[in-house]
Amino acid sequence: MTVEQRYRYLYKPGVFIASLVPAALLAAGALGWFGADLGADPVAKLLHACGKTGLNFLLLTLLVTPVRRLTGWTHLVRLRRMLGLFAFFYLVAHFTVYLVLDRQLDYRNVLQDIVKRPYITIGFAALLMLVPLAVTSTNRMMRRLGRRWQRLHRLIYLIAILGVWHYWWQVKKDIRQPLLYAGMLAVLLGFRLVVRGLNRVRAARSTGAVTSTSAPATAPGKT
Amino acid sequence: MTVKQSAHIRPSQITPLDAYLNRRELLAGAVIAAALTATSSTTQAAEATPKPDPRFAFTRNARYSVKEASNSFQDITHYNNFYEFGTGKEDPAQNAHTLRPRPWSITVGGECEVRGTFGFDDLIKGLPLEERVYRFRCVEAWSMVIPWLGFQLSGLIQKLKPNSNAKYVQFVTLMDPKQMPGERDDVLRWPYVEALRMDEAMNPLALIAVGVYGQALPNQNGAPLRLVTPWKYGFKGVKSIIKINFLATQPSTTWAISAPSEYGFYANVNPHVDHPRWSQATERPIGKGLFAPRQQTLMFNGYENEVAYLYKGMDLRRNF
């Protein structure tokens, strides 16, 4: 099998099915399948589980680039779109649970919440920003937008930051979990900053623009 | 069982204390066993509501019981905020088996005549036990209805004879990380401390609960004794009490220390004063399933007639 085929027939379907497992578990709990249940406060459980799974997928999406860099498995990028769309799926579910089950479609109350409660404001803003990313995730849109596509999709960094912040802000006291998410996000974003910094130094060196105090300009390895 | 007014409880209806306490010994094992089986399987069927022990013939105090249906025993015992056993709602039910509620002693001190350390049995001797179905409103905007079993705090206070300097009564939870593993994490300052103004404590609604659903209080609900003040947010209900102090000045309390802008000393349920981060106007009733609408939160959690006089002339926005 070629790499192409392996992705098409094995990896992608595998990741797709695995990504649906959290949804299946929650559905089983909601419907009481196999004796599963969502506990005493099923709305809160659904709400939090969808939000957290969405956040997990956001981080997984951001993990693809560092893993590609470190392992050289450049073809992993073929999974990134699916992971991003699953993040969108779970976060839309998160908002839907809030709107329909928690607030019983009381739009006025929801609008008030969005305006008045900072943690809801930033969570909602992050969700809105995900919409254009999901809409422009098709091959056709990628081609059509060209360079602008990449610029637009850098929004994911801001979205992830707002997402973790939203999580942090609604926790009553025990911030260990949000702290963990903030730490993971910092590593993922920090990796990019470091790579960017290194690239700049290299680029500068290769053009000889940097007056280095270290060894005289030996040929920097090809990048 | 016929529902009777509190004034009509005959002495014969009140369980002799030793009978009640012997019963506790038997129950302690059962509670632990239940807690262990609960952890062994995540898909166990909900625990059925236990039948009250026949030797424990309590009377329901109808005057102080609400009409709403009580939450299930399962919900009441598996959805708890008791950070001494972990910060998740299901953590206490899993972890509280390490607590040993018997034997138990309570140290009484401060501005009162009766000072010293007393066994649980001696301390509550002669205090009439009754069942009261109270609303319970958590500061996190969810609510339950709980059939507590206990005695009026005012009765205990009279027994301890506070002097005229006593303006506040303070309660302290057990501090023992071996029994309460959550106390190893510094999410809150341990031990947990709560307090009431003396007139609040003497209000007939203030209850010391020693049971729920006619059973000894399960560990995760604050065994062997806890405070219940139904017009206040749940965090005022300090659990597993080992110290009672009468004080001349207002003491600091755990959640108010932890986040003074979010949790006050009074913590009265008030739909008009929001938590800085979320609304207190409505609450989600626990145990009514996925599609139950939120319900309006009532002033003083519906106990306005009983307690509003305590706060006359006070700015409840500042004294939240």
- Chain A interface, best mutation among B136, B274, B294, B295, by max A CB count within 10 A: B294
> How big is the A-B interface in CB pairs under 8 Å?
60
For chain B, state the CA radius of gyration.
19
**Local structure of A215: helix, strand or coil:** coil
Contact A178, A167 (CB under 8 A): yes
A39 closest CB neighbour out of B44, B71, B79: B79
> Please, are residues A92 and A55 in contact by the beta-carbon 8 Å criterion?
no
Give whole-number Cα distances, B286 to A35, B234, B249, B280, in Å. Answer: 20, 14, 37, 16
- A158: its two tokens: 């801001």
On whether residue B291 sits in a domain, the answer given is: yes
In contact, B246 and B169? CB cutoff 8 Å? yes
Query: How sure is the predictor about B47, in pLDDT bands with cuts at 50, 70 and 90?
Result: low
Q: Do B277 and A35 touch (CB under 8 A)?
A: no
Dist. CA A103–CA A108, nearest whole Å: 10
Looking at chain B, which residue has its C-alpha nearest residue A110? B279
Q: Which of B78, B87, B144, B295 to mutate to test the interface with A (most CBs of A within 10 A)?
A: B87
CA-to-CA dists, residue B299 to A168, B272, B275, B285, B317, angstroms: 30, 8, 15, 16, 13
Q: For residues A70 and A132, what is the distance between their CA atoms, to the nearest angstrom?
A: 29
Percent of chain B whose predicted confidence (pLDDT) is above 90: 79
Q: What are phi and psi of B193, to 5 degrees?
A: -130, 135
Instruction: Give the closest of B43, B140, B291 to A35, CB-based.
Output: B43
Domain count, chain B: 1
pLDDT at B5 over 80: no
Q: How many residues are there in chain B? A: 320
Residue B66: phi and psi, rounded to 5, are -85, 160
A47 sits in the region (left: phi over 0; alpha: psi -120 to 50; else beta) called alpha
Q: How far apart are CA A29 and CA A26, in angstroms?
A: 5
For the segment B81-130, what is each residue's pLDDT rounded down to a tens digit? 999 999 999 999 999 999 999 999 999 999 999 999 999 999 988 899 99
CB B87 within 8 A of CB B140: no
Per the CB < 8 Å rule, is A102 touching B188? Answer: no
Least confident of A138-142, B55-59, B133-137: B55-59
Cα four-point dihedral sign A197, A198, A204, A210: positive
Contacts of A118 (CB under 8 A, 6+ apart): A169, B277
- Which domain covers residue B27, as residue numbers? 6-308
Which residue in A41, A104, A118 is closest to B79 by CB distance? A41
Please state, in angstroms and rounded to a whole number, the distance separating the CA atoms of residues A49 and A90. 9
Residue A180 has pLDDT above 80, yes or no: yes
CB atoms within 10 A of CB B246: 24
Chain A residues with CB under 8 Å of a chain B CB are 30, 34-44, 46, 101-104, 113, 116-119, 169-170, 172-174
CB contact under 8 A, B43 and A173: no
Average pLDDT over residues A98-123: 94
**How far is the C-alpha of A85 from the C-alpha of A91, rounded, in Å?**
10
Residue A76 has pLDDT above 60, yes or no: yes
Q: Which of B56, B33, B55, B58 is nearest to B44 (CA)?
A: B33
Gap from B75 CA to chain A (nearest CA, Å): 5
Judging by DSSP bridges, how do beta strands B282-285 and B142-152 pair with one another?
parallel
Token look-up 């249906």 returns B69
Which amino acid, residue B240?
Answer: S
A209 pLDDT higher than 60: no
Q: Which of A30, A102, A173 sits opposite B188 (nearest CB)?
A: A173
Q: Which residue has the higher pLDDT, B31 or A158?
A: A158
Structure confidence at residue B173 (pLDDT): 98
* SS3 state at A156: helix
Give contacts of B79 with chain A, Cβ < 8 Å: 39-41
In a domain, B318, yes or no: no
Of the ranges A17-26, A165-174, B46-55, which one carries the lowest mean pLDDT score? Answer: B46-55
User: Which CATH number characterizes residue B77's domain?
Assistant: 3.90.420.10
> Over 60: is that where the pLDDT of B10 sits?
no
* 8 A C-beta contact, residue A101 and residue A43: yes
pLDDT at B7: 42
Both tokens of residue A129?
A: 């920003």
Confidence of residue B31 (pLDDT cuts 50, 70, 90): very low
**A170:B277 CB<8 A:** yes
The CA-CA-CA angle for residues B134, B139, B142, to 5°, reads 65
In this complex, the residue of B187, B278, B286 whose CB is nearest that of residue A40 is B286
Which residues, 6+ apart, have CB-to-CB distance to A20 below 8 Å?
Answer: none
- Which residues have a Cβ under 8 Å from the Cβ of A52 and sit 6 or more positions away? A167
Closest Cβ–Cβ partner in A30, A34, A117 for B277:
A117
B273 — phi, psi (to 5°)? -115, 105
So what's the ipTM on this one? 0.82
Assess contact for B276 and B138: CB atoms under 8 A.
Answer: no
The residue in chain A having the minimum alpha-carbon distance to the alpha carbon of residue B87 is A174
Tokens of B115: 């000072």
Question: Does some domain include residue B127?
Answer: yes
Q: Do B284 and A174 touch (CB under 8 A)?
A: no
| pLDDT at position B239 over 80 | yes
Does any domain span residue B101? yes
Rounded Cα distance between B64 and B6, Å, is 8
Q: Check pLDDT > 70 for residue A54.
A: yes
Cis previous bond, A132, omega within 30: no
The mean pLDDT of B271-284, rounded to a whole number, is: 95
Give pLDDT, residue B35.
40
CA gyration radius, chain A: 21
Q: For residue A80, count other CB atoms closer than 10 A to its CB.
A: 18
Query: B72, B79, B275, B277: best mutation site toward chain A, by most A Cβ within 10 Å?
Result: B277
- pLDDT higher than 90, residue A219: no
